[in-house]
Structure 1
Amino acid sequence: MKLKNNIFTALLLTIGFILHQITPGILGGMKFDFLLSFIFISIFLNSTFRNTMLTALLGGILSAMTTTFPGGQIPNLIDKLVTCLILFIIIKGIQHFKLNSFIVALISGLGTFISGTTFLISALLITGLPVPLKVLMITVVLPTILINGVGTAFLYGIIKRALKLSGVTVDNFNA
């Protein structure tokens, strides 16, 4: 993996980290995970297995550092690894299609669902949940699916256009 690809991934995750950090916690200490949008964009733009694992690990660590969920550090690492691996497989499976806003939003929504579900189930098994799983799925995960799906599609378009206009190349760039 080239250094510029690592730097680009780190830059995307830094932006997502800042947004994740300033997002207030809601019901039961849960917060919308805007870092996911930038994790997904990193994988869309550089869909190599190495970048996927780097993104999952760094994203999990950054999420764990900012979690407001009691005992949410380990579930954050688990959910990012599981989500990134599944999305990597999905993105490789549709690699022959051009990624448009609809596909990006759909995959991002699915990734958010996988991430939220994995996080909540692993948190339930490791530390317990402050409120019932169903309540957290309805009040946190479902709204985040919509926000991340639309937001990721919007941000992906902007970042893809900025890369083309600036002449910056990312290996395995999926334009």
Structure 2
Amino acid sequence: MKLKNNIFTTLLLAIGLIMHQITPGILGGMKFDFLLIFMFVSLLLNTKFENAMLTGILGGLLSAMTTSFPGGQIPNILDKLITCLVLFVLIKYLSKININFLVVGLLGGIGTFISGMVFLTSAAFISGLPAPMSALVIGIVIPTTLVNTIGTVFIYRLVKIAIKRSGILIS
């Protein structure tokens, strides 16, 4: 994988980390995961398997370092890795059709929902949940899915415009 692609991925993740860090924890210490948006944009722009693994590992480590969920470090790493692998497969499958803003939004929503459910399930087994699973799904996962669906489209468009104007070739 080219160094500039790795740097581009890490820059996107650094921006996502800042967004994740400044987001306050709400229900049971859980927070909206805006780092996911930047992970999805990275996966959409660089569709190589190596990038999916890099994004999943770095995204998981970064969100584990900033989690406000008690014992949420391992669930964060697991959910980012699994989400990146699933989205990699979906993007490869959907790349046969035109990737437009509807597909980008759909991928953002699906990826966020998968991430939230993997996180909650693994956290329930590893450290326990501070509130009932249904309350966390309704109070955190579904609203985050809606916000990230729109946010992924918005950030994807911004990054695509920035890439085009800067003349950077990401492949």
- With normalisation by structure 1, the TM-score equals 0.97
The Cα of 1:101 is off from its aligned counterpart by 1.1
The answer for unaligned runs of 5 or more in structure 2 is none
1:69-121 CA deviation, whole Å, 9 max, x = no partner?
A: 00000000000011000000000001122211111011110000000000000
Alpha carbon RMSD of aligned pairs, Å? 0.5
3-state SS in 2 of match to 1:10: helix
1:36-80 CA deviation, whole Å, 9 max, x = no partner?
A: 000000000001000000000000000000000000000000000
Q: How many residues align?
A: 171
Query: d(CA) in 1 for partners of 2:126 and 2:155?
Result: 34
Amino acid in structure 2 at the alignment position of 1:131: A
The answer for unaligned runs of 5 or more in structure 1 is none
Aligned to 2:11: 11
1:88 aligns with 2:88: yes
Query: d(CA) in 2 for partners of 1:153 and 1:100?
Result: 9
Percent of aligned positions with the same letter in both sequences? 61
Q: How does 1:25-44 map to 2 (within 5 A)?
A: 25-44=25-44
Query: d(CA) in 1 for partners of 2:7 and 2:84?
Result: 19
1:74 aligns with 2:67: no
Aligned to 1:157: 157
Q: How does 1:1-175 map to 2 (within 5 A)?
A: 1-171=1-171
The list of structure 1 runs, each at least 4 consecutive aligned residues, that deviate by more than 4 angstroms after superposition, is none
The Cα of 1:166 is off from its aligned counterpart by 1.1
Amino acid in structure 2 at the alignment position of 1:162: A
Query: d(CA) in 2 for partners of 1:128 and 1:164?
Result: 46
Amino acid in structure 1 at the alignment position of 2:19: L
